[in-house]
Structure 1
Amino acid sequence: MRKDPSILDYSCTIVLLVTVVSAIAQPPTAHAFGGTSTTIAVVYGGNTTICTIVAEQPIQQIQCFTPGQSGPTPISLATSFDFIAGGADFFCGLRSGGTAMLCFDSTFTPKRVYFNVSAPLKSVTIGDMQICASTSKNDIVCWRGGYSPGIGPFRSISSGLGFSCGVMESNSSVFCWGGNGSMASAIQSSFFNTSMENIFVGGTQACGISTSGWLICEGNNDNGQLNIVSNSSYEFSGLALGANHSCAIRRWNNSVVCWGGKGEFSSDLTVGVSFESIVAGLDFTCGLTSVNLSIICWGPGWPNELYPSGVALPLAKILPGSCLQSDCQCGVYPQSQELCSGNGNICRPCHVPIVISSPPQIISSQTSSRNRGLRRGWLAFAIIGSVGAFSGICSAIYFLWTGVFFRKKKINNSAQPTVNVRSSSSNSSHSISSPTIFSRSSFIVRQGSRLLRRQRSGPSSKHTDLGAEEFSFSDLNAATNDFSSENKIGAGSFGVVYKGKLPDGHEVAIKRGETGAKMKKLQESAFESELAFLSRLHHKHLVRLVGYCEERDERLLVYEYMKNGALYDHLHDKNNVEKSYSLVNSWKMRIKIALDASRGIEYLHNYAVPPIIHRDIKSSNILLDSTWTARVSDFGLSLMEPENDEVEFKPQKAVGTVGYIDPEYGLNVLTAKSDVYGFGVVLLELLTGKKAMFKSAETGSSLISLVDYAVPVIKLGEVERILDQRVGPPSDSVEAEAIELVAYMAMHCVSLQGKDRPTMADIVANLERAATLCNHSRTDSISSDWISIVLE
């Protein structure tokens, strides 16, 4: 249908206005400041130490240097870091992707402070002791004497001595909090009614760039730390504030100017030197030079007797920014691929055009104008520069509107998915052979359109439509030697399971329903459920239904035989508990089994139409075939989920197995997250080797929940304490990272509320990453002179 040209013109007019306003309002990008995340961290206190993220390596690791040493100390964790920040005798680093934060003491011993797949961190700031971080949702979390402000979201955060400040996303106002309440309140009041783009906190002062581009400083001025040496709109791009001094990077030449400290920070060392970023200690500043990406430091607090000011520190080349996998909106840093060793790109900051509106002069915050508008030259530049974008955008809108570029395609909702696309990590599109997958893998949500990818499934009113073979009772009776006890191999949701051999020689597992009157109704329901689902579900990680038998009161189901039995038996059977040579007694195999099972459950949740909730996920329902491939079994309690994702089941009564049942099930609520809870318990079984409900020496004859036993220990970051001794400790830090990833994911899976649990798609993605880590784990990859850990 032809579109009204007037509507198109009106749309383009709106696009032009939005483009102009966006260009005018675009904020400068800050570089670095003391205690806030960048690729450099200053550790002060007992021994001054400079830590950085190393460039030109497949894994972006950390190196540290203390003046007086002959060279740097590398920290080997076989994982990449995006940012680091320093404080009093410690520093912290954000792992690539932000899902975890590790902090290191003066001996470089790491301690995990944060792990959350669903809310990764994007920045961290450290004062003297307190740590605060911003999540991807712009919420603030704090540790070590700091406390969360309880409001948000924040656009920018920074910490000083005993307090932190942030710029509110909603109204660009400054809000401060922390143990030093009087200073926090004074700083916040000083910025009252001022719209800020960012904030940088020092010891007793704070500086920031306003939404109009002006540098404003407030707080204590006893040492001249508010006496800005010059100030013009958008003159500065980044700040570093110490206890009583401030430094800033000029945008037009990346030179550094400092003020405060009663003049002790004026230095010729920075004249003519271009810097990528700067970071401050209490009474000195360090900068990353553009010419060779090295560090120089200066100021009265720098230990010149150990290492002279202005002399490059003996550190390997340093990353000027984080290596990111995402596209760069404002261009890529030169030699980005070389610096990141092919692992992403360093993005250029999105600066506004340079406008010098006033000559250098000494201006304090008390005399600077708070409400200066944008200069006419900048406004004209923005408008003119938007004309080209306007033309291109309008053309794109026109083509999209009229369908020149894109044509609608018919979607065949009945198309069958290729169920073995991700059946093996070695053949999966997610499998990466390079060791750089250790930390570069992101936690991706791979849940796709149900309409496009689900296979039709569900019960049928006619068994003849199921496609499963119908057996006679006499055939199955003969196959199991009259259902002898010697052939009994287990029990299912509605009966006993026997091993059998068909006349053609194929081995099968035959589930025979109970024939008693009390069990008749239940076994008929379970029989119909399994027959209906399994005859239509075909996936490598689901047990395959071979056929069925329905004669008089007999109800039997025939499955493919799983030679290596149930996972439960390998973990808990008395004949296997003391065996240390079992193939399952390796972390690599246990993680593989978890990954296999998660793929089967994900198939039920995301690819079946309607989606299916298993309702009885447990280790005894995860079977292992002759190749040790794990498959989910027993669909006797399964239910079909409504097509509307918002609808919750309200079953008449809770079913399942004690220890695996979702706590929300007691509230008469059932969703796919109920399966996630059960699977989380299975993960804990794999990690600990303990049953879902078990007796311990502490509890005597009383049973304790595995969740209650394991989760508190995982929260403390002491995963090694609960690991199954039959498997032993991780072989190296890479395998340790994989185990830790599984442990923290299990902890989230068994959250009390379903909304706090991950989806099965998330779980599969995380287990794929853990499996990849195990595949690349090797102890000889870590040099003995590098600091390494078993568990972080």
Structure 2
Amino acid sequence: MRIQVAAAAAVFLAVLFSAAEGLGSAATIAIVAASGTVCGILAGDELRSIQCAPVARPALSVSPNFSFVSVSGGREFFCGLRYGGLSFFCWNAANSSSVSLPAKRVYKGSASMADLSVGEDQIFAFDQNKTGIRWWRGGSTFPLSVAGEFRSLTSGRGFSCAIGNNSRVLCWGRRRQEIQSAFANETMTNIVAGDSHVCGLSVSGFLICRGSNRSGQSNPPAGDPFQFSGIALGANHSCAIKQPNGTVICWGGEASGLGKSYFPANNTLFVSIVAGGELTCGLTAANFKVICWKASRTNPSLTVLPLPKILPGICVADESSCECGIFPDSESLCSGSGVICKSCGSPAASFRPSPPSIPPPPAPSSNSKTSKGWLAFAIVGSVGAFAGVCTILYCLWAGICRRKKVHNSVQPTFASAAGNGAAHQSSMIIASPFTSPPGSKSRIFRRQPSRVMRRQRSGPSSFGDRTEEFTFDDLAAATKNFSIEFKIGSGSFGTVYRGKLPNGLEVAIKRGESGVRAKKLQDKESAFESEVAFLSRLHHKHLVGFVGYCVEKEERLLVYEYMKNGALYGHLHADGGDDGKLNSWQMRIKVLLDAARGIEYLHSYAVPPIIHRDIKSSNILLDSNWVAKVSDFGLSLMSPEAESGEHLTVKAAGTVGYMDPEYYGLRHLTTKSDVYGFGVVILEVLTGRRAIFREEESGEPVSVVDYAAPVIASGNIGQVLDRRVAAPGPAEAEALELVAYTAVHCVSLEGKDRPAMTDIVINLESAVALCDASQHDSGSSASISLASMD
């Protein structure tokens, strides 16, 4: 069965752009701060040459007339990286009265450079093979080179910065310590430098600014995660493209307007912006023309520059590197030699200035050539058909003879691996997954000798294998015509009602929106089909039972078993506080274990494996006996085999605060993406905090990962535990250590450092055993099996 899966309309897309726009960062447009000269790479130009124009002055000629990949501007000059990266040129544009700009070649070598960045007077770029970064000019305050892999290179006055492999900001130059130390506690996805401050997006999606703040330029406006993109920083002001509408918002720049934001270009939509000095410029989404304005909240004075169309993004040779698709008409904009990658989540990228030109197919030149072409086609087709038959036969043999997984909930006896394998370095604070933090009494991360761990497995679902197709009238009768008194919740797909079928079975009925509102939910049909396709073949005690569905005209309804005690989220974060139902650590850990078993079934025992993509506390439901079950498969995807190490490359989807940084940053989706979301759920259960909450003192949004993980890793678990639950006794304290350290590893930045769900289940079973009052004395820590967290 072909399954179409797409993100639900309410899902927030992570906004990451491939090249940061701003002073000292590689882009297709740059500003020279001293003269207010704006330079860009021409769109549709066969050579992709550079043209410049000072504000309110005629355009300047720029030589040589070579093809360029990107440009970057500093205080008095700008540089352009030539196509191929084997050389770059710089132009002095400090004098606004110039009519032409002669070039000076700064670099020509055998190593191909990329991500060229210009600061006050320094230039730096990294080797395209990612062996390190190099500097030119800038004096003795900058090293000649630094080895390692970096991204998001950017430069300001007296400093250059980049993001290392651990998502930490590293800086160089005389102002290195000032900027780098300001980001010491932050993990970032990208950064952009201004004159003396730096802004960027954290891994949680929040806009963070550090450095000078004398004009309020480091006080970004409040916003939801991933609401800003296209950051551009000047001397004393900052701007960003605001999502989802694509308008520009600025802040700082005036002594009378500290901390106040403004929209300088009203409702104009932009695909990119850049800043330098007191000037900001943007490329309009409508026609890629350049509009500039001064950093003034009261009178920005917009100016349209006399420049042709500028490339809306850097042309890349290989479209396979485009994670979120191709920018409309990009082949035409790049003159047929490359494409522009669409910025993920940017609405401006969907604007289509002109329909693409489709060349007519070439006419055959002779009968001879036609015959040869058909002959080649027949040979290739025959080989392909033979290969296809062989593939099908192999798959049938592998599926029948070699498939060891089972498509049911009967799970085998588990034997833990023997030996003391070498621990690897984690990207989190804990150095080894088998070493407890300082002061810890728990032995959860120390390998045990080989032993067989026979685990109590959950049985099959109480619902039958067959799903029923209901009529709309049946479900309307079950809910008294969808009466408001039967409404129990709502979500992106629609509204959920409690109902009773004629056979007396209580059910939850999810009714998709219809009419005018449904047109806004573009992915409603895909989410419906996905849920039906997955749940109709999945039956497990810890997955919400699927009863049936209804398809009539525009109506789409899903019928599930009724979960009397609602969602875990409601018990943890109810407006009135904890309602007392989950008031013991033993109960909370037992709920986590139930949910983990459900996810483990999806990853390890469903064939093929399934990635849920939206693991969160509101999708973990509790039945009348307080058994936890995983729900909502509207975003789920079939996964490559877990042991293959492969990943899916798909557009990011999920819920902010629970999304795997690797997934929304690199679009790499694996079962470890679900592990990250479950790690966030564990931290919610331990702390009683939402996935993203506001600090009591500052009111700033904080992720529960940033709040709890460092504290747990330092061995101070009690400092973050939910105060609404009674203080743990000795056995419970050890169980909570086990759970907390497991959570820290679940939220590691890199998927390879996270445990598998099977290992998580083992640890949670051990934690429940520690909390069990009926456990005999010898069944304490000495008998606890420690799972491999490799």
TM-score band by shorter chain is 0.3 to 0.5
